[in-house]
Amino acid sequence: MRKVLVVEDEVLIRLTLVDALLAAGFDVVEAGSADEAADIIDEQTIHLLFTDIQLPGTMTGVDLAHAVARRFPDAGIIVASGRLTPGADELPSGAEFLPKPYRFEEIVTRLSAM
Amino acid sequence: MKIAMATDKISSRERFLEAIVQSAIDYAIISMDLDGLVTSWNEGARNILGWSADDMIGKPATVFFTQEDRERGVPQKEMTAALNRGRGNDERWHLRADGTLFWASGEMMALRAPDDTVIGFIKILRDRTEERERVDRERLLMHELGHRMKNTLSVVQAIVTQSLRNAASLDDASEKLQSRIAGYARAHEILLQKDWVSATLADVLDAAKTNIGLQGSERLRSVGPDVQLGPQAALSFSMVFHELLTNASKYGALSNADGSVDVAWDIERRAGTDVLVVSWQEAGGPHIPSSEPDRKGFGSRLIISSLRAFGEADISYEPGGVALVAALPLARIQLRNDLSEIDKNAT
């Protein structure tokens, strides 16, 4: 079972996405900040990352995406934001961007295809 | 105004025009010869740019252009445009005598003698820094509002998804949807009343009570000092109280005739940090069977996850109802962000 790390500081959005991913058969770990997520990837192997860009703490979602790509080069990565649209060269190779608001089913579909 | 010419040759009409130029203190009106050396400098120029007429007469007018514009030949281009087209206008940053920058709208015109030969230039500048800053602030505010709107839509999407997913029927879904969205809207309303800076914990609780028709209920007692919450904490507490109140009304201490709820909060000093300690204690409610679906359900997860974003929180299901305790560092729950920061910078 592939493990998805979901990083989103808006709790309601995070829980809803976690529920959708669990229902789709993924193993899910969650974090409310990129700093918290960084601790998780030090201790666990993840196969997929979904992260918001703007998060509380010292790291952004883009920073986290790069950290995940370094640690797990084959991991599928989706970053989302309602504020920023990162340039293609700002994200790790192969990472996808999704603007808010998004459909939860779309995230499940995209992660399933990665 | 100081004009570099013999004053005994000035006609009454020229004195009239000079008086007009002198009184236009909101405009820098500067004349130059063909070499770009200043020949007159009005009171408005002194007000806006900081140099006196004595400082500037005979000096190059390029002094109030930025170094970058001087290197790009902007003063010469303005004069060339005035020569070719009669006048040219632009908006750009200029330098004051004290080295500060200001945003100016300016117009450069060719100054012609009676025989129509060009004898110099007139530059009229207006300080538009405040307008420029206001436009920048408005642009930033619109960008931030756009972000907040998209985020709010995402939250509403999540509310819709969860309310439909966990509903027992369409009516149940409809009720959950409406009350959750209305509760979220009330929290926004409280924050907007205070320019999106803060809301008190008591106001957020009162709004949540009103939202589900429990305003003035004597069975729901609350006590605590005035505690200001930052925007994110206020929105989180509004959702937490909504879930707790809804749960208490449907299954807990407010679902029968005898139960009650005590909500208490205080600021405690723990390990050198001010911490908001909040408790929700239900009593006298009906016994909740351990198979109650909401026990590990979305509502409970939302309550705990929302509070743990700021500190520690634990919820337990006791025979008389729910008991919740949270300890949240004050600095984290009072954090202000986005719109409130823009508002602060604007003042």
Measured in whole angstroms, how far is the alpha carbon of residue A56 from the centre of its chain? 15
Q: Is the pLDDT of residue B31 over 50?
A: yes
pLDDT tens for each residue of B240-295 = 999 999 989 988 889 888 899 999 999 999 989 999 999 999 998 887 665 454 44
Quote the pLDDT of residue B225: 95
pLDDT tens for each residue of B45-75 = 999 999 999 999 999 999 999 999 999 998 8
Q: How far apart are CA A48 and CA A24, in angstroms?
A: 14
Would an 8 Å CB–CB cutoff place B31 in contact with chain A?
no
Q: How confident is the model at residue B8 (pLDDT cuts 50, 70, 90)?
A: low
CA distances from B33 to B5, B66, B67, B121 (A): 12, 21, 22, 6
Residue A66 belongs to domain spanning: 3-113
Q: Which of B162, B302, B309 sits opposite A9 (nearest CB)?
A: B309
Quote the pLDDT of residue A5: 96
Q: In CATH, what number is assigned to the domain containing residue A45? A: 3.40.50.2300
Quote the pLDDT of residue B10: 64
Q: Which residues of B touch A9 (CB under 8 A)?
A: 309
B108, β-bridge pairs: B88, B123
Contact between B93 and B101 (Cβ < 8 Å): yes
**What percentage of chain B exceeds 90 in pLDDT?**
36
Q: How far apart are CA B34 and CA B120, in angstroms?
A: 5
Quote the number of domains for chain A.
1
Q: Is the pLDDT of residue B129 over 70?
A: yes
Q: Which of A42, A38, A18 is nearest to A28 (CA)?
A: A18
Q: How far apart are CA B163 and CA B178, in angstroms?
A: 10
Q: How far apart are CA B265 and CA B327, in angstroms?
A: 10
Contacts 24+ apart (CB under 8 A), A92-101: A92/A65, A92/A66, A92/A68, A93/A69, A95/A65, A95/A69, A99/B150, A100/B150, A100/B151, A100/B153, A100/B154, A101/B150, A101/B153, A101/B154, A101/B157
Q: Which of A15, A32, A101 sits opposite B157 (nearest CB)?
A: A101
pLDDT tens for each residue of B316-337 = 888 778 899 999 999 888 877 6
| Residue contact B150–A101, C-beta within 8 A | yes
Residue B6 in tokens = 């013999």
Would an 8 Å CB–CB cutoff place B161 in contact with chain A?
yes
pLDDT tens for each residue of A36-91 = 999 999 999 999 999 999 888 889 999 999 999 999 999 999 999 887 778 778 88
Q: Is the pLDDT of residue B339 over 70?
A: no
Q: Is the pLDDT of residue B234 over 80?
A: yes
R_g over Cα of chain A:
12
Q: How confident is the model at residue B344 (pLDDT cuts 50, 70, 90)?
A: very low
Would an 8 Å CB–CB cutoff place B160 in contact with chain A?
no
- Could you tell me the strand order of the sheet in which B260-270 lies? B220-223, B260-270, B273-283, B321-329, B312-318
Q: Which of B172, B166, B248 is nearest to B205 (CA)?
A: B248
| Residue contact A11–B143, C-beta within 8 A | no
Residue listed under structure tokens 């192997």? A45
Q: Which of A15, A20, A102 sits opposite B302 (nearest CB)?
A: A15
Question: Which has more pLDDT, B342 or B149?
Answer: B149
- What is the ipTM, given to two decimal places? 0.81
Quote the pLDDT of residue B9: 59
Q: Which of B154, B298, B302 sits opposite A82 (nearest CB)?
A: B154
Contact between A12 and A1 (Cβ < 8 Å): no
Would an 8 Å CB–CB cutoff place A52 in contact with chain B?
no
Averaged over B109-135, what is the pLDDT?
90
Q: How far apart are CA B71 and CA B65, in angstroms?
A: 10
Q: Is the pLDDT of residue B347 over 80?
A: no
Q: How far apart are CA A26 and CA A28, in angstroms?
A: 6
pTM listed for this prediction = 0.71
Q: Is the pLDDT of residue B2 over 70?
A: no
Averaged over B30-37, what is the pLDDT?
91
Quote the pLDDT of residue B317: 84
Q: Which of B143, B151, B305 sits opposite A11 (nearest CB)?
A: B305
Quote the pLDDT of residue B7: 52
Would an 8 Å CB–CB cutoff place B181 in contact with chain A?
no
Residue B239 in tokens = 């959702």
Q: Which residues of B touch A13 (CB under 8 A)?
A: 154-155, 157-158
pLDDT, chain B, mean:
85
Contact between A5 and A50 (Cβ < 8 Å): yes
Sketch the domain layout of chain B as residue ranges: 2-127, 181-345
Mutant choice from A16, A36, A55, A81 vs B, greatest count of B C-beta within 10 A: A16
- Could you tell me the strand order of the sheet in which A3-7 lies? A27-31, A3-7, A48-52, A76-81, A96-99
Q: Which residues of B touch A100 (CB under 8 A)?
A: 150-151, 153-154
Q: Is the pLDDT of residue B157 over 80?
A: yes
CATH match of B181-345 with 3.40.50.300: no
In the CATH scheme, what is the code of domain B2-127? Answer: 3.30.450.20
